[in-house]
C-alpha cells in the first residue's frame, strides 16, 4: 500500500486521481486531501476516503470543513494554509504526492514533496516553470522521483529509453515532438479572437480541464509553458523541441532518435492514463480508460503551429531561451492576465499583449534561491496588475 497525498483534490486532476485510485483500492491509502475554498467537495471526498489530514488554503475555509466533517470523519485532522500543505506533502508517512494545485500556489507544497524525497506526480507545471533549476536540483539532491502528469510529458517519458538519465543527446535522441490540439480557436481568424468570451475560451474541443489551463490552451500559452516544462524535465533546450499541432489529441507526443526512428504514445484524451501510469510506474494498472478505436477516429493529422495567430507560444520559446527569470516572469504575468480575462476585465487578445510587455522587463538570468523566484513572481504580478488597471480604466 502506497500512502498518497493529493494536492488539489477537488480539481480536475484531483478528481481523475481519485477515480483511478478507486479502481485500485488495494494499492493506495489516501493520506491527505487538499483544496482551496471548496469545502463542500472536500467534505464529500473526506467522507469517502477518510484521510488522516485534510487541508484548506485558509482558516475560515478550514473551519467550514471541520464543521462539515463533524461526526463523519473522526480521524481526519483539518489543517490550513501553506504550512499545512507543506506538512502533508513532506510528511515522513507519505510515499506519493500528486501535485495537482493550479498555478504558483502549488510551488511551495510541490517543492516540499521534492525536498522530502517523495515520488512527485507533477501536474502543476507552473511550479516547475517558475523554479526550474531549483526544483530539479531538489529532486536530484533528495532522491525524489519526478513523474510527469501532463499528457504530453508523460508520453515523452514513456517514449524515452528505459532508465534514461541526463540530457537527450546522451540518450541518442534528436528531438522531442510536442503535440498540441491547437485549442478551440485553431481555425478562428485573428479578428474574431478579440471578442472571445471566457465561456468560449474554456470550451476545449478534446479535454475537460480547470478554467485556468483551459484559457492557457486557448491562447496556446499552455504549450509555451509545456515547452519550458519539457526543457527542465528532459534536460534539453528549446531548439530540440518541435511543437506540432495535432487536432485529434490522440498522439500525446513523440520522441525522435538519431537513427530517424520516431516513437509515439497514443491513447484517448483522458488524464486517467498518465495518472495511472505515474502511480503504478514502472508497472501498469487499470485506469478506466476505454480502448483506442483508431478505425472510428480514421485520420490523424499534423500541422505546424501559427506563431502569428498564437503569439503566446512564441513567447514561451523566447522565455525558455532567456532562462529561469524570464520563465518565472512570463508565468506570473500569465496568471494575472488569465484571472483578469476570466473576470471580464480584459479581452482575450490583451493576454498576449500583456505577456509581451512583461517579458520585455524580465530581470534575466537564473534565480539562485527560492526567495529570488518569489520576488520575481511578485514583481511581475505587480506590473501586470498595474497594466490591467490602466487597460480597464
Ligand X SMILES: NC(=O)c1ccc[n+]([C@@H]2O[C@H](COP(=O)([O-])OP(=O)(O)OC[C@H]3O[C@@H](n4cnc5c(N)ncnc54)[C@H](OP(=O)(O)O)[C@@H]3O)[C@@H](O)[C@H]2O)c1
Note whether 331 and 377 are within 8 A (CB): yes
Least separation in angstroms between residue 192's CB and ligand X is 25
List the grid coordinates of 152: 504530453
Please give the Cα distance from 204 to 184 (Å, whole number): 5
Neighbours of 44 (CB within 10 A): 14
Name the maximum alpha-carbon separation found in the chain: 63
CA–centroid distance for 15 within its chain: 15
> 159 or 271, CB closer to ligand X?
271
φ/ψ of 119, rounded to 5, equals -80, 115
Least spacing, CB of residue 174 vs ligand X, in Å: 26
Please give the residue ranges that form the binding site for ligand X (CB under 6 A). Answer: 8-14, 35-38, 57, 100-102, 105, 123-126, 150, 207, 209-210, 212-213, 271
- Which residue's CB is nearer to ligand X, number 20 or number 102? 102
Helix ranges (DSSP H) in the chain: 12-22, 39-49, 59-69, 81-90, 107-115, 125-141, 151-159, 190-193, 198-202, 211-219, 221-233, 272-280, 294-297, 311-322, 324-342, 348-360, 370-392
- Quick one: 150 or 256, whose CB is closer to ligand X? 150
Cβ at position 64, least distance to ligand X in Å: 11
Contact predicate 42/33, CB 8 Å: yes
Rounded distance between C-alpha atoms, residue 263 and residue 128, angstroms: 25
Q: By beta-carbon distance, which residue lies closest to ligand X?
A: 11
- The nearest distance, CB 79 to ligand X, in angstroms, is 12
Least Å distance between CB 379 and ligand X?
19
Residue number with CB closer to ligand X (203 or 295): 203
Smallest separation (angstroms) from ligand X to the CB of 155 = 12
Q: Based on CB atoms, which residue is closest to ligand X, 196 or 225?
A: 225
Residue 131 near residue 367, CB atoms below 8 Å: yes
Cβ proximity to ligand X: between 171 and 269 the closer is 269
Amino acid at each position: 500500500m502506497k500512502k498518497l497525498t493529493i494536492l488539489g483534490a477537488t480539481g480536475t486532476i484531483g478528481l481523475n486521481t481519485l477515480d483511478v485510485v478507486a479502481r485500485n483500492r488495494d494499492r493506495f491509502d489516501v493520506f491527505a486531501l487538499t483544496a482551496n475554498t471548496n469545502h463542500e467537495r472536500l467534505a464529500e471526498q473526506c467522507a469517502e476516503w477518510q484521510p488522516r489530514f485534510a487541508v484548506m488554503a485558509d482558516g475560515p475555509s478550514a473551519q467550514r470543513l471541520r464543521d462539515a466533517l463533524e461526526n463523519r470523519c473522526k480521524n481526519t485532522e483539518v489543517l490550513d494554509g501553506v504550512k499545512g500543505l507543506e506538512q502533508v506533502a513532506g510528511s515522513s508517512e507519505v510515499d506519493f504526492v500528486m501535485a495537482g494545485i493550479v498555478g504558483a500556489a502549488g510551488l511551495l507544497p510541490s517543492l516540499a514533496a521534492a525536498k522530502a524525497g517523495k515520488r512527485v506526480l507533477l501536474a502543476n507545471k507552473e511550479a516547475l516553470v517558475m523554479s526550474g533549476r531549483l526544483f530539479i536540483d531538489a529532486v536530484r539532491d533528495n532522491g525524489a522521483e519526478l513523474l510527469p502528469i501532463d499528457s504530453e510529458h508523460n508520453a515523452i517519458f514513456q517514449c524515452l529509453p528505459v532508465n534514461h538519465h541526463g540530457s537527450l543527446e546522451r540518450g541518442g535522441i534528436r528531438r522531442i515532438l510536442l503535440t498540441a490540439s491547437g485549442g478551440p480557436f485553431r481555425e478562428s481568424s485573428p479578428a474574431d479572437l478579440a471578442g472571445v468570451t471566457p465561456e468560449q475560451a474554456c470550451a476545449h474541443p478534446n479535454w475537460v480541464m480547470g478554467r485556468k489551463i483551459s484559457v492557457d490552451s486557448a491562447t496556446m500559452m499552455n504549450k509555451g509553458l509545456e515547452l519550458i516544462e519539457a526543457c527542465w524535465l528532459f534536460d534539453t533546450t528549446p531548439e530540440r523541441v518541435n511543437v506540432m499541432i495535432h487536432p485529434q489529441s490522440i498522439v500525446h507526443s513523440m520522441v525522435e532518435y538519431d537513427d530517424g526512428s520516431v516513437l509515439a504514445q497514443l491513447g484517448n484524451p483522458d488524464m486517467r492514463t498518465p495518472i495511472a501510469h505515474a502511480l503504478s510506474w514502472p508497472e501498469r494498472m487499470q485506469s478506466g480508460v476505454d480502448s483506442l478505436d483508431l478505425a472510428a477516429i480514421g485520420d490523424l493529422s499534423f500541422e505546424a503551429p501559427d506563431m502569428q495567430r498564437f503569439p503566446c507560444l512564441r513567447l514561451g520559446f523566447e522565455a525558455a531561451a532567456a532562462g529561469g527569470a524570464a520563465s518565472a516572469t512570463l508565468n506570473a504575468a500569465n496568471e494575472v492576465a488569465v484571472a483578469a480575462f476570466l473576470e471580464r476585465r480584459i479581452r482575450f487578445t490583451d493576454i498576449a499583449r500583456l505577456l509581451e510587455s512583461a517579458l520585455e522587463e524580465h530581470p534575466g538570468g537564473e534565480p539562485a534561491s527560492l526567495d529570488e523566484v518569489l520576488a520575481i513572481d511578485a514583481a511581475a504580478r505587480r506590473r501586470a496588475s498595474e497594466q490591467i488597471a490602466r487597460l480597464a480604466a
